[in-house]
Amino acid sequence: MIDIYFTKPQQLLDIFAGMEEKSLLMIQKSQDNEEALEELQTVFAISKRKMGKEIGVLKKQTQMLEKLVSREEERAKDFTLMVLYFVRLFSFGEYNEELQDMALSEVNSQIEGVYSNVIGQNDANINTLQMTLAIENKLEDLLQTIDELPPNVVEAAEKQRERHRRQLQRELKVKQQEEMQAERLRRTMEKALLSSKKGCGRKLVSRSVPPVVKQKVEKTKWRVREDEEMVYFLTKN
The pLDDT value recorded for residue 213 is 45
The pLDDT value recorded for residue 3 is 64
Single-letter code of the amino acid located at 206: S
CB 212 within 8 A of CB 164: no
Single-letter code of the amino acid located at 221: K
The pLDDT value recorded for residue 237 is 47
> Please, what is the end-to-end C-alpha distance for the chain in angstroms?
112
The pLDDT value recorded for residue 54 is 87
Taking each helix axis from N to C terminus, what angle separates 97-118 and 128-148, rounded to the nearest 10 degrees? Answer: 40
| CA atoms of 30 and 40, how far apart (whole Å) | 15
The DSSP 8-state label assigned to residue 204 in this structure reads P
Residue 145 neighbours by CB under 8 Å, 6+ apart = 61, 65
Q: DSSP letters of 44-80?
A: HHHHHHHHHHHHHHHHHHHHHHHHHHHHHHHHHHHHH
Single-letter code of the amino acid located at 69: V
The pLDDT value recorded for residue 230 is 53
pLDDT tens string, the chain, 237 residues long: the values are: 556 676 777 887 888 888 888 888 899 898 999 999 999 999 999 998 888 888 888 888 888 888 878 877 787 777 777 777 666 666 555 556 666 677 778 778 888 888 888 787 777 778 888 888 888 888 888 888 877 877 787 778 778 878 888 888 888 888 888 888 888 888 888 887 777 666 555 555 555 555 554 444 455 555 556 555 555 554 554
Q: CB count, 10 Å around CB of 90?
A: 12
